[in-house]
């Protein structure tokens, strides 16, 4: 669709694309820089993977058009609780955990691609500096969300799909993208088998193994982005 509308000229490098199937379940991760990332992921993964679903903030349900669309498409909502809210009502402590568990039960009914932006927010230079991140082009990954998904969906998940999105001429705003001012995108897809040590029942062992595995993937992604930027 994007190519037909001439909004962007993508350069897609999908390794082992023939190994994926719409009949399997996948965990999808990606770096995050712009709202356009979501459009690109939905467009370029469409037809190769089952439908993409991702957890979104409950506040978005009130955004005209977007909120209703996400609700109709079955996107699960999570409600971020503040420390003050949890202190006032300790029962809210596990609200997000319960929402994720409930959503995963629904995902088991049909093949699904579960998307998670591990950085937790759109990456900017100021956010990266505030984190003192060890990565040149990424924010630190947060594994809490995918740990819950792996715990609830481990036996169903076929592979982890890692997407790297690079805008060689600069990250566009959503409006710049819609008006055709983003002419170049690098879209790289890698696939990983999920290690057995990440699928164990022990919460402490699983979290430790997952943190180590994701850090390795993130370091590889960071070097890839650096190489693409240097080769402009």
Q: How far apart are CA 58 and CA 63, in angstroms?
A: 10
pLDDT tens digits for range 131-158: 988 899 999 999 988 999 999 998 999 9
pLDDT at residue 66 greater than cutoff 60: no
Q: In the 8-state DSSP scheme, what is residue 81?
A: P
> 121 and 96 in contact (C-beta within 8 Å)?
no
Tokens representing 216 are: 């390795």
Q: List the chain domain ranges.
A: 2-50+111-230
* CA quadruple 220, 195, 115, 119: dihedral sign: negative
Q: How far apart are CA 221 and CA 217, in angstroms?
A: 6
Residues 39-67: what's their mean pLDDT?
74
Bridge partners, residue 166, by sequence: 186
Residues 18-31: what's their mean pLDDT?
94
pLDDT confidence of residue 209: 97
The average confidence (pLDDT) of the chain is 84
Please choose, from the candidates 111, 119, 96, the residue with its C-alpha nearest in 3D space to the C-alpha of residue 27.
111
pLDDT tens digits for range 96-143: 777 788 888 989 999 999 999 999 888 988 998 899 888 999 999 999
Question: Predicted confidence band at 3 (pLDDT cuts at 50, 70, 90)?
Answer: very low
């Amino acid at each position: 669709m994007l190519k037909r509308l001439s909004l962007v000229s993508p350069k897609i490098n999908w390794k082992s694309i023939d190994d994926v199937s719409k009949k399997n379940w996948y965990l999808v991760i990606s770096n995050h820089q712009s709202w356009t990332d979501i459009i690109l992921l939905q467009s370029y993964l469409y037809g190769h993977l089952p439908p993409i679903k991702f957890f979104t903030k409950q506040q978005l349900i009130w955004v005209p058009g977007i909120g209703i669309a996400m609700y109709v498409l079955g996107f699960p909502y999570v409600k971020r609780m503040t420390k003050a809210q949890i202190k006032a009502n300790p029962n809210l402590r596990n609200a997000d955990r319960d929402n994720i568990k409930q959503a995963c039960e629904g995902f088991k009914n049909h093949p699904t691609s579960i998307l998670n932006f591990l950085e937790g927010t759109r990456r900017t230079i100021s956010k990266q500096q505030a984190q003192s991140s060890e990565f040149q082009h990424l924010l630190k990954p947060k594994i809490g969300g995918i740990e819950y998904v792996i715990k609830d969906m481990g036996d169903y998940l076929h592979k982890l799909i890692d997407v790297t999105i690079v805008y060689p001429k600069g990250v566009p705003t959503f409006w710049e993208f819609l008006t055709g001012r983003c002419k170049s995108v690098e879209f790289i897809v890698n696939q990983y088998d999920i290690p057995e040590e990440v699928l164990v029942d022990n919460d402490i062992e699983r979290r430790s193994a997952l943190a180590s595995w994701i850090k390795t993937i993130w370091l590889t992604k960071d070097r890839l982005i650096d190489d693409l930027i240097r080769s402009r």
